[in-house]
Amino acid sequence: MPVPKHIFAPPFNIIRSSHVTLGITDLGRSRAFYEGALGLQVEDATGDALYLRGLEERQHHSLVLHRSAVPSVRHLGFKVASEEDLDRAAHHFKTLGTEHAFVEAPFQGRTLRALDPCGLPLELYFRMEQRPSLLRQYGRYRGVQPQRLDHFNVFAPEVQRSVDFYASLGFRLTEYAEEDGADGRIAAAWMHRKGNVHDIAFTNGPGPRLHHLAYWAPTALNIIHLCDVMASTGYLANMERGPGRHGISNAFFLYVRCPDGHRTEIYTSDYQTMDTDHEPLRWSLRDPRRQTLWGQPAPRSWFEEGSLFDGVALRDALFKADVLVAS
């Protein structure tokens, strides 16, 4: 694959992944899962939406659960560095010819929604209402003690095209998996703006679909504690994969599914990537250590199931990646 060259002066400045809005069929049932089991803080509840955040976050929300007839994902949120960056972003999407519009979004300032060239719905903003961080409010710690939203992972039908587009916006490739051989195609890529392994990752497959959102937990012990909590509060079947450690990103992980099937990764212990001479790490697609350095192999559901984006047509992947799947 062509590894993209890093662009240090992108057309507008995204600083990090910020929030995601999920379509949820039963808000009460999902509140019990995200607040009661995982330990996210409910910051606001309206008639048709719940706004949640992690303990460290000062922004009003990093997860919005929106009442919906069917499970879906509305958009992936990214924070930009200034109001001017929103105008630069609108100009850039206009130049690209992709759908975009400024919209009203509760608890946020000017908000730009746009489709990326591969059909991924994005929401960009600079200002969001602020709340005091709960980082030192240990009496509020519950569940896995989620600190902050860390990243998104999406199924992408054209991974190389997604990588090239996000590289053009200044996202840096940290790790990638590709086929062996001179003409090996890229099957997965991890890209960041904020200085750790990723803000967004792309996995080859029918898409666009959300594979997972991820919250950062303080330690691996918090993740093991969450396994005990879920196993004893009726959520055993919602634990899909893990705990274990990925080779890619070095993360200690657990994947859980909410009652509507949306997947959340609980994630900790990756590494810094902000050095300007940091080079991407290549993994062979046939190397099982990339998915699982240790732990049980990923089940078939983990490879095949994901959440659809509202109103976005599903496309087949350009090719079928030859990955190892547990039966």
Specify the long-range contacts of residues 314-317, CB closer than 8 Å, at least 24 apart: 314/206, 314/207, 314/208, 314/209, 315/119, 315/157, 315/206, 315/207, 315/208, 316/157, 316/206, 317/155, 317/156, 317/157, 317/158, 317/204, 317/205, 317/206, 317/207
In whole angstroms, give the CA distance from residue 2 to residue 126.
Answer: 32
Does the protein bind Fe ion through residue 265 (CB under 5 A)?
Answer: yes
Q: How far is the CB of 214 from Fe ion (least distance, A)?
A: 4
Positions 152 through 181 that interact with Fe ion (CB under 5 A): 153
- Measured from the CB atom, is 33 or 252 closer to Fe ion? 252
- Distance of closest approach, residue 212 Cβ to Fe ion, in angstroms: 6
Nearer to Fe ion, 178 or 265 (CB): 265
Q: How far is the CB of 19 from Fe ion (least distance, A)?
A: 16
Q: Are 302 and 189 in contact (CB under 8 A)?
A: no
Rounded to whole angstroms, the Cα distance separating 293 from 272 reads: 19
Instruction: Return the number of the residue (123 or 199) whose C-beta is nearest Fe ion.
Output: 199
Q: Measured from the CB of residue 202, what is the shortest distance to Fe ion in angstroms?
A: 11
- DSSP codes, 21-56: EEEES-HHHHHIIIIIIS-PEEEEE-SSEEEEE-SS
What one-letter code names the amino acid at 117?
P
Q: Which of residues 113 and 241 has its CB atom nearest to Fe ion in the complex?
A: 241
Q: Tell me the CB-side half-sphere exposure of residue 243, using CA atoms within 13 A.
A: 21
Least distance between Fe ion and beta carbon 102 (Å) = 30
Distance CA 234, CA 157 (A): 35
Choose between 89 and 210: whose C-beta lies nearer to Fe ion: 210
**Stretch in the footprint of Fe ion (CB under 5 A) among 85-93, 258-266, 276-284, 287-295:** 258-266
Q: How many residues bind Fe ion (CB under 5 A)?
A: 3
Which stretch in 56-64, 93-101, 122-130, 147-155 sits in contact with Fe ion by CB under 5 A? 147-155
Q: What is Dmax (Cα atoms) for the chain?
A: 55
Give the nearer residue to Fe ion in terms of CB position, either 85 or 265.
265
The residue among 122 and 214 lying less far from Fe ion, judged by its C-beta, is 214
Q: Rounded to the nearest whole angstrom, what is the least distance from the CB of residue 253 to Fe ion in the complex?
A: 7
Show the tokens assigned to 295. 């732990």
Q: Which of residues 52, 154, 163, 214 is near Fe ion by CB under 5 A? A: 214
Q: In a 3-state reduction of DSSP, which class is residue 62?
A: coil
The residue type of 220 is: A
Q: Which is nearer to Fe ion, 238 or 249 (CB)?
A: 249
Interface with Fe ion (CB under 5 A) = 153, 214, 265
